[in-house]
Structure 1
Amino acid sequence: MNFAIIGCGFIAKKHAKAIEAVEGATLVAVSDKVPSAMEFYVNEYGVDPYEELDLMLDRDDIDVVSVCTPTGLHAPLAIKAANAGKHIILEKPIAMTLEDTDRIIDACDYNNVKLSIVHPNRFRPVVRELKKILDQNLLGKISHANAIVNWNRNQEYYDQALWRGTKEFDGGALMNQAIHNLDLLLWFMGEPEQIFSMEATRLRQIEAEDVSTGLIKFKSGALSVVEAATTAYGQNFEESITLFGEKGTVKIGGKNAIYFEYLEVEGMEEEVNALKARVEEDPFGVPGHQCIIDDMVKAIKEERKPAVSGEEGRRSLELVLSFYESAKVNEPIQMIKEKEYANN
């Protein structure tokens, strides 16, 4: 299948490398308004460059497009690609608003094209192993969970481009950095019911938040603490998720949530060390973007939804926007889910 990339910034290189690594996938074109941004892909992969996106989308031989632009531009570009009959891989988060999200999903449904959202952490070995433990109900009833992202994004990071850290195109620590962690939390814990959050912009000169703390009550009755920040000094400090159940406690952690930092589960005493060692041998596994590309190829062939569909991408955005709304009104709120779009 032939792939194309829209937007040739930093993250596009991961898509290009992943496409090259997937059997049956070939990168044939890229599009960017800045010609120099496309030079690397022309020289490295021999692709055709397009300053005019419409000309690229007119090509009948392109099956899938990866949208790698700032988030605030996702909706118009994804909808245009869907209307051109292209399947779409969309970088996280799916969009900045639920209104734009539903416009994207509706356009893909109307044009009968597939939509995959890039939440690659789901494919990490430690995450897969923890999901197996949960699917087998080995932890029993979950009492509560902690989800933490304390990373470093210094001022130079935000100053690289005018859109970084803006509410219109990028968002802050929750929307941009912690969104993967929140996606995993939802995958593990199910549907949230009530949200309470506080946020601040403490150290970075940006419009959006650089630190956020919040609480979630899930429909199951379980509770969760969420902490997200880009203000850690010097370097990334921690990304982790900890689950506390009646039959065990599990923490996946490290700087990128790739190891079992703690694993104690009733009935698994003999398996724990082997499982931890197996993960530590290859903590990243197959690169997540490669898994996303490979899954899209298979989803098209098998006529099924991608593993991380538009609806799945919507769930993590719902949570972020609910945090934002709670912080705005400074009180607990019900989870924002319906097409009653909040003005954040």
Structure 2
Amino acid sequence: MKYVIIGTGNISKTYISALQSLPACELIGFVSRSKTSGDNDYRLPCWPTLAEVDRPFDAVIITTPNGLHHQSAIEAARLGKHVLVEKPLDITQGAMDGMIDAAARANVTLAVSYQRRTNPDNMAVKALMEQGAFGRIYSADLSCRFWRDQRYYDSADYRGGYALDGGGVFMQQACHNIDNYIWLFGMPARVQGELDTFAHRIEAEDHGAVVLRYDNGMIGTIVASTCAPPGYPPRLEVSCEKGTFTLLNDCISDWHVEGIDNPASTVPPADDPGASSPTVTDFSRHAAVLADFEQAVARGTTPLADGKDARRTTDLVLQIYRCQERKS
């Protein structure tokens, strides 16, 4: 398909690399309010609005700040274009409803880049979960101990705020991991938590811990932080009826499950660059998301993370924030 990338920030470069790695994909240009045509390293056209794009294209990739996603998604859908959104889907329930409704009305595909789902070990665990292979799940504990310095938050006025970022570490840095958590275990029945701002001059939280209780009895925990230098790979530890296992940076690092061979296909990396930097250097999982997106469009099937499914991640984060607001 032919793509237009909306937004020219840091993450757009990751999508450019991913598109270039897939021979059937073509990037025809950008939509940006800050750049003019050809004002980019790729010498591609740059239009101020999507309506002004004067070349044929099939889909958009939205890389604008979180709280602006709905504007471009709804416009693209009304133009009959398929939509791939950088995480999260958006930051309010009303905005997400508008995006999902616009895509359904226009009969176009709406997908979100929750690329951690594409990791082979995550997919193997997901398949076993769906088979009920683990028996009863007792607990699932997710730790996202990341690091961002003050310069990161100072690099744009909206960073770490509610208006455009939608919140702090839970909405921005940890939402990939939270999405994977929900993908595996579903939505909890009850949430309790504590959030605060410790190490940065920002409006929203830079650290928090929440407890999730499920209807099936499972107790989960999520700790998310951007004040844990030097930054650590995310860790998910699961206890179940058949034993225990751990995913470190989406790779199985420990497996003690009775009667089930370890399905690990990758070795956990020593570190995770994303734990300490917003720059995404490994574009392979974004390429996998794009391949899945194109397949969904071609076959009329549901993408790995469609609008309704990806919405749940934002819903849970908003539930966490409301829990904190009730204590204020």
Normalising by structure 2, report the TM-score: 0.91
Q: Could you tell me which residue of structure 2 aligns to residue 106 of structure 1?
A: 101
Query: Which residue identity lines up with residue 261 of structure 1 in the other structure?
Result: S
Q: Could you tell me which residue of structure 2 aligns to residue 244 of structure 1?
A: 239
Q: Could you tell me which residue of structure 1 aligns to residue 325 of structure 2?
A: 328
Give the alignment of 1:6-17 within 5 angstroms: 6-17=6-17
| CA 38–245 in structure 1, closer or farther in 2 if over 3 Å, else same | farther
Give the alignment of 1:147-166 within 5 angstroms: 147-166=142-161
Matching of residue 50 in structure 1 with residue 47 in structure 2: yes
Query: Which residue identity lines up with residue 51 of structure 2 in the other structure?
Result: D
Deviations 1:141-189 (A, max 9, x none): 0011101100001101111111111101112000001101111111111
Q: Could you tell me which residue of structure 2 aligns to residue 280 of structure 1?
A: 267
Matching of residue 310 in structure 1 with residue 307 in structure 2: yes
SS at match of 1:130: helix
Deviations 1:4-40 (A, max 9, x none): 1000100001111111222421111111111169633
Q: Could you tell me which residue of structure 2 aligns to residue 231 of structure 1?
A: 227
Contact 1:32 1:38 in 2 (8 A): no
Question: In 2, Cα distance between the equivalents of 1:222 and 1:295?
Answer: 31
- C-alpha displacement at 1:199, in angstroms? 0.4
Contact 1:138 1:265 in 2 (8 A): no
Contact 2:36 2:46 in 1 (8 A): no
- C-alpha displacement at 1:54, in angstroms? 1.8
Matching of residue 261 in structure 1 with residue 273 in structure 2: no
Contact 1:8 1:38 in 2 (8 A): no
SS at match of 2:12: helix
Q: Could you tell me which residue of structure 1 aligns to residue 5 of structure 2?
A: 5
Question: In 1, Cα distance between the equivalents of 2:268 and 2:89?
Answer: 32
Contact 2:198 2:207 in 1 (8 A): yes
Q: Could you tell me which residue of structure 1 aligns to residue 186 of structure 2?
A: 190
Query: Which residue identity lines up with residue 186 of structure 1 in the other structure?
Result: I
Question: Pairwise CA RMSD of aligned residues?
Answer: 2.1
Query: Which residue identity lines up with residue 200 of structure 2 in the other structure?
Result: R
Query: Which residue identity lines up with residue 318 of structure 1 in the other structure?
Result: D
Q: Could you tell me which residue of structure 2 aligns to residue 335 of structure 1?
A: none
Query: Which residue identity lines up with residue 7 of structure 1 in the other structure?
Result: G
Query: Which residue identity lines up with residue 243 of structure 1 in the other structure?
Result: V
SS at match of 2:172: helix
SS at match of 2:40: helix
Q: Could you tell me which residue of structure 2 aligns to residue 341 of structure 1?
A: none
Question: In 1, Cα distance between the equivalents of 2:37 and 2:99?
Answer: 26
Q: Could you tell me which residue of structure 2 aligns to residue 221 of structure 1?
A: 217
Contact 2:84 2:113 in 1 (8 A): yes
Identity %: 29
Question: In 2, Cα distance between the equivalents of 1:19 and 1:251?
Answer: 32
Question: In 1, Cα distance between the equivalents of 2:62 and 2:268?
Answer: 33
Matching of residue 172 in structure 1 with residue 168 in structure 2: yes
Q: Could you tell me which residue of structure 2 aligns to residue 20 of structure 1?
A: 20
Contact 2:36 2:47 in 1 (8 A): no
Q: Give the gaps of 5 or more residues in structure 1.
A: 332-344
Contact 1:197 1:330 in 2 (8 A): no
Question: In 2, Cα distance between the equivalents of 1:247 and 1:286?
Answer: 35
Q: Give the gaps of 5 or more residues in structure 2.
A: 273-281
Normalising by structure 1, report the TM-score: 0.87
SS at match of 2:87: coil
Of 112, 124, 135, the residue aligned with 2:130 is 135
Deviations 1:193-240 (A, max 9, x none): 11111100111101111011101112222110110010012x212311
Give the structure with the larger helix fraction: 1
| CA 38–32 in structure 1, closer or farther in 2 if over 3 Å, else same | farther
Q: Could you tell me which residue of structure 1 aligns to residue 275 of structure 2?
A: none
Contact 1:138 1:266 in 2 (8 A): no
